[in-house]
Structure 1
């Protein structure tokens, strides 16, 4: 059994599945289109929303202060290692599915499933965060004195963030208050419709938004330099590291969210004219362009807002840092804020577009392999897009964007993406050994070890600086994914059936699935603000608050682990029995 779980899918078989004659996808994208898609995905909610918290810090981590510039460089280096690995993979395996497909060819089916399931965190769950941020920027745009429109509170927030007065005054349906984030739901519906119509139309829509967002960032830099002298900026950069390297590295983990997206372009490989050439150009080019902008923005932002003053900002003000910064230096010019709010709305719209474009194609690739139901692999006969998975992804993102909390979603997205990047870097090392003669239009420089291993180690290093809640939720998400794999994908896998697996899910596989599901429930039950040692200490003292909750969660984790192990052992014995 274990041998088949890690059986790799032959590259020739993967490439054969990507034949345009059989997939129905249309090759309309050029290297320029790919680069713009990358920039569209990267520059968005991260730069407009996370730098306030990254600079000042919060209760869970210290802030970087002016060393935010260095934080962006550190994160860019980490992403750069991974981008080179993605570029090589894209030139060798120009197929929809991104890191999921790459892992299937190098690490085997089980790890490919885990990585594909993880990419749901990066794209779909990450897009929930982007949709929530878009809603905040859109409401700020409407509230600008030049427009002066305010949405009703019950249509502009979530039930979890509502106070008692709003809950009492909101409209009721069958006695339940109607409170949800309507702008977030609306924009996801709009983007989903655009993506169903066609990839070429989506790329043109993105190109216009990318141009606007770059002009807005240039406006921010130019306006700040005009209002604040370079001498004053240099003075505000002192102290450069108010919280030492701990603050700089913690901020690097936060602003990692600003870089998520350069890998999304690899999901459109089957819709690219010359994927072996255009995808590496697009991936690396978009990362370089965005890094230059990020460092400039960080330098200007920390130069016009002293660190001590930033500490006095409210959480809401830190959530709109660029707008607040310009409002501070141009207090009597509301149109300046209007420009920034408009830029933020357009930037996050572009990110929504690219992420919503990437997730359906990963689902499509997994469905082709039998790990998800076959109907998810359908392509629209007229538009040539994976319309089923596009619509389902839109429904998923819209539902949770209506009710979710932004901070929780961002941290989960970061750790899930770092894990995916780690496996991609390791995959390059493996593929160079398992298939060294395969033609490669692009190769990671300096051999198969140096940069890929540096990329894997640096991703783990950044993940270390994320709060404990991110780790609990991430492991819980993995357990939930394994429950789905053993409950469905293990028996329906096309590769697995070719290796002799039964097409019917055995009772032992169901037992494994139930075990992992129990694990997931336990991992989402235990208090997420505690580390492992703190959790054990809490369980050991029943008199402490939340001790009962921790005990219930730990029992579910241990019981689920036992079920999963028993199921795996019995299934393995059944497979080798004569």
Structure 2
């Protein structure tokens, strides 16, 4: 079976001459839970302490800035996804707009971006798992964070190989339970923060460290908003993409932005920013302990385990689809796009992702992993916004999206520029690593795929 995009003259051209295509088995709920589940993991259970320590209560603005930029990109990405509902997401859109070299650079680098993000989520899971052991009174003679992260990373890869339906079932179950826990916690915490429950909030200046940290923190926490892009990356698995893709992408951004803002509001009302920063990756556990005692801490620990697992699970799924798409177009060895006939999943792409994820987990530096993932995604997001402008201006016959970006062309231009500007607020090490990955990806495309000319790529 082949996948085709019409050329401007209306003729069908295949972008994958042979092989087995992915089945569309993920519905709207699955798309929403992949988007929401990916984002909740970092934004609520890893970043609140780090964000508050950097920006104080003004960290709420950091999450709102991140959410607005994500929304500015989610709308153009939804248009492209409904016009080209294929696995690969941003890579597929950019390669069809800007050509083979730009697409190859983005495709290979965004795969690495998803790998960095997955490793970040798994390390966060390790911190929560070890906290559970401490709460249970168990003492271990060594630090098991990396060991736990590697074990569950391998387990999630195996689940993904066993079938997309299994991945969706796991994601739906985990995120549903997670949302219930979070809603109860945030309602109680919000009532406490506004004084309804009679407890005084922590008196603190809104921006004790100034305004600049608000933007640098926004760059750090932007990893929390990568979930909507995962939905576009697995567009080839989504049922009724014209309807479900925009709803899942835009809806997930709106939902999690509200949840993030409430989380920071509750956290900084219960505990001062400096103390929160000292708690690090598990700060939200201490907030829950402050509000609800030991039971609250244990409940949030369970939620944290669920959240980081759901984020890692969705990112592993998306990373395999990103590599599958690039391989299908012969920009990396085509063996990587091979579909397992028993399970209908790209098993070699999943195994390849697992190998790199384990390697990055060994690094263990949460902020570095997060920012490199954000850097590579922000580059892709900026190019996605400008790709919409390209397709609107060239207006090929086959470009008939079911959803169109409102406020065109202003909104895509603002979204593209905002994505690139946010990169400037990242720490230098993250930018240099990200640039190095982009250069390596570009060099790989020039050398390995020098003779590849993607069919369906439109020339201006």
In structure 2, the partner of 1:495 is 454
Q: Does 1:29 align with 2:20?
A: no
Whether contact under 8 Å (1:14, 1:95) holds in the other structure is no
In structure 2, the partner of 1:326 is 288
Structure 1 residue 361, shift from structure 2 partner: 1.0
In structure 2, the partner of 1:102 is 93
Structure 1 residue 349, shift from structure 2 partner: 0.4
In structure 1, the partner of 2:274 is 311
Structure 1 residue 367, shift from structure 2 partner: 1.0
* Whole-angstrom CA distance in 2 between matches of 1:358 and 1:219: 30
Pick from 111, 114, 135: which aligns with 2:102? 111
Structure 1 residue 283, shift from structure 2 partner: 0.6
- Shift in CA distance, 436/481, structure 1 to aligned 2, threshold 3 Å: closer
Report 1:74-153 matches (<5 A): 74-144=65-135, 147-153=136-142
Stretches of 4+ moved more than 4 A in 1?
8-19, 225-229, 231-235, 312-315
Structure 1 residue 289, shift from structure 2 partner: 1.2
Render the CA deviation track for 1:477-535: whole Å, top value 9, x for unaligned: 122223322331224x2539x9xxxxxxxxxxxxxxxxxxxxxxxxxxxxxxxxxxxxx
Q: Does 1:369 align with 2:329?
A: yes
* Whole-angstrom CA distance in 1 between matches of 2:423 and 2:126: 28
Q: How many residues align?
A: 449
Pick from 430, 437, 454: which aligns with 1:470? 430
Pick from 237, 241, 244: which aligns with 1:271? 237
In structure 2, the partner of 1:443 is 404
In structure 2, the partner of 1:298 is 264
* Whole-angstrom CA distance in 2 between matches of 1:278 and 1:138: 34
In structure 1, the partner of 2:38 is 41
* Whole-angstrom CA distance in 2 between matches of 1:27 and 1:71: 36
Render the CA deviation track for 1:297-338: whole Å, top value 9, x for unaligned: 1111111123xxx314564x12211112222345xx322211
In structure 1, the partner of 2:340 is 380
* Whole-angstrom CA distance in 1 between matches of 2:73 and 2:193: 37
* Whole-angstrom CA distance in 1 between matches of 2:148 and 2:344: 29
Q: Does 1:240 align with 2:200?
A: no
Report 1:174-213 matches (<5 A): 181-213=146-178
- Shift in CA distance, 285/119, structure 1 to aligned 2, threshold 3 Å: same
Whether contact under 8 Å (1:9, 1:495) holds in the other structure is no
**Does the residue aligned with 1:444 lie in a helix, a strand or coil?**
coil
Structure 1 residue 403, shift from structure 2 partner: 3.7
Per the normalisation by structure 2, the TM-score is 0.91
* Whole-angstrom CA distance in 2 between matches of 1:241 and 1:233: 23
Whether contact under 8 Å (2:52, 2:276) holds in the other structure is no
CA RMSD between the two structures: 2.5
* More contact order relative to length (CA 8 Å, sep ≥ 6): 2
**Does the residue aligned with 2:125 lie in a helix, a strand or coil?**
helix
Whether contact under 8 Å (2:161, 2:343) holds in the other structure is yes
- Shift in CA distance, 322/476, structure 1 to aligned 2, threshold 3 Å: same
Q: Please say which structure displays the higher CA radius of gyration.
A: 1
Per the normalisation by structure 1, the TM-score is 0.73
Render the CA deviation track for 1:212-255: whole Å, top value 9, x for unaligned: 22122223224434655528889646422223321222222222
- Shift in CA distance, 75/360, structure 1 to aligned 2, threshold 3 Å: same
In structure 2, the partner of 1:55 is 52
Pick from 394, 399, 405: which aligns with 2:359? 399
